[in-house]
Amino acid sequence: MSIQRILVADDEESIRWVLSKALTKQGYQVDLASSGDQALTLCRSNSYDLAVLDIKMPGRSGLEILSTLQEHAPQTMVVIMTAESSMKNAVEAMKRGAYDYLTKPFDLDALDAIIVKANKASSVSEQVTLLKSELKERYQLDRAIIGESQPMQAIYKTLGKIAPSDVTVLVFGESGTGKELIARAVHFNSPRLGKPFIALNCAAIPRELLESELFGHEKGAFTGATERKLGKFEQANGGTLFLDEIGDMPLELQAKLLRVLQEKEITRTGGNQTIQVDVRIVAATNQNLKEKVREKEFREDLFYRLNVVPIDLPPLRERREDLPALVDYFINRVRQEYGTHTQGISKKAMELLSGYSWPGNIRELENTIQRAALLSPDAILEPDDFPELHSNGQDENGRTASLEGLIAKKLQDSLSQIDLQDMANLYEMVLHQMERPLINIVLQKTRGNQVKAAEVLGINRNTLRKKIQTLKIDMKRNGD
Q: Are 9 and 66 in contact (CB under 8 A)?
A: no
Whether the ω angle into residue 105 lies within 30 degrees of 0, i.e. cis, is yes
Residues above pLDDT 90, as percent of the chain: 40
pLDDT of residue 399: 44
Query: Domain 5-126 maps to which CATH number in 3.30.930.10, 3.40.50.970, 3.40.50.2300, 3.40.50.300?
Result: 3.40.50.2300
**pLDDT, tens only, 234-278:** 999 999 999 999 999 999 999 999 999 999 999 888 888 889 999
Q: How confident is the model at residue 423 (pLDDT cuts 50, 70, 90)?
A: low
pLDDT digits (tens, 9 = 90+) for 105-148: 888 888 888 888 777 653 434 333 333 332 333 333 334 688 88
Q: Is 369 exposed, middle or buried (0-12, 13-18, 19+ CB in 10 A)?
A: buried
For residue 26, pLDDT beyond 70: yes
**pTM for the full predicted model:** 0.60
Q: What is the pLDDT of residue 328?
A: 93
pLDDT at 393: 47
Q: What is the CATH number of domain 165-312?
A: 3.40.50.300
- Which CATH code fits 316-393? 1.10.8.60
The contacts of residue 383 (CB under 8 Å, 6+ apart) are 346, 348, 349, 352, 390
Domain boundaries defined on the chain: 5-126, 165-312, 316-393, 421-477
Contact criterion met (CB below 8 Å) for 450 and 461: yes
Q: Judge whether 5-126 and 165-312 match in fold.
A: yes
Residues 364-385 pLDDT 10s:
999 999 999 998 888 999 998 9
- On the question of pLDDT at 468 being above 90, the answer is no
pLDDT at 9: 94
Report the 10 Å Cβ neighbour count for 281: 23
Say which CATH class 421-477 falls into: mainly alpha
**Using one digit for the tens of pLDDT, what is the confidence trace for 201-220?**
998 888 778 988 999 888 88
pLDDT higher than 50, residue 2: yes
Residue 358 · residue 317 · CB < 8 Å = yes
Q: What is the mean pLDDT of the chain?
A: 83
